[in-house]
Amino acid sequence: MIMAEDEYVKVDRVDAFIYPIDGLPVMVCYLEDGREFNLFYVPVEIVMAINKLKKQVSSEEENIFTNNRETIYDILSFIPEVADEISRHINKVTIDDISGSIYIATIELKFDGVIIQKRMIPSHAIFLATISNKPVFVKRDLVDDQEKERRKGGEEEKK
């Protein structure tokens, strides 16, 4: 996938959390242009994994959501050789499509000079990019559309 410079916005940082009121797991991508791109209904395990990587999870939260059990995400980030190997093969992650209301990411992998693209769940792809320190991009049109929907929703609430 050849990315046109202006077609994608780079993600500067990611936060993942669970809304306290309704328990909705969310991932917020803070973009280099100052905007945000939100992913809702993210698997709780991904929220916990991202926060563990950032050292932002309390032991109480961990016990509530994992029942004192490790997940595959814990193991992937716990073994440095695994993260190093993943890092050698990932070029980048792009959130570049939507099907209905479900976002789709593409992870670009390289093996002996051959580039392979795989479609993924965005939160999972972002986790892989996070442990391998690789860039994440969001298609500008998807950000624009999400902002339009947010504004439209805000207008309807005012009525």
pLDDT of residue 59: 55
pLDDT of residue 6: 84
The tens digit of pLDDT for each residue in 6-62 reads 899 999 999 999 988 888 999 999 999 999 999 999 998 899 889 888 876 655 555
Taking CA 82 as the corner, what is the angle to CA 115 and CA 8, rounded to the nearest 5 degrees?
40
Distance CA 148, CA 150 (A): 5
Q: In whole angstroms, what separates CA 42 from the centre of its chain?
A: 9
pTM: 0.85
pLDDT of residue 70: 81
Three-state SS string over 65-134 comes to HHCCCCCHHHHHHHCHHHHHHHHHHEEEEEEEEEECCEEEEEEEEEECCEEEEEEECHHHHHHHHHHHCC
Whether the pLDDT of residue 64 is over 80: the answer is: no
Buried b (16+ CB within 10 A) or exposed e, 63-101: eebbeeeebebbebbeeeeebeebeeebebbbbbeeeee
The tens digit of pLDDT for each residue in 73-127 reads 888 888 889 889 999 999 999 999 999 999 999 999 999 999 999 999 999 999 9
What CATH number belongs to 10-158? 3.10.690.10
Contacts of 43 (CB under 8 A, 6+ apart): 25, 123, 124
Whether the pLDDT of residue 159 is over 70: the answer is: no
134 confidence band (pLDDT: 50, 70, 90): very high
Domain residue ranges in the chain: 10-158
Distance CA 83, CA 129 (A): 10
71 confidence band (pLDDT: 50, 70, 90): confident
Q: In whole angstroms, what separates CA 30 from the centre of its chain?
A: 11
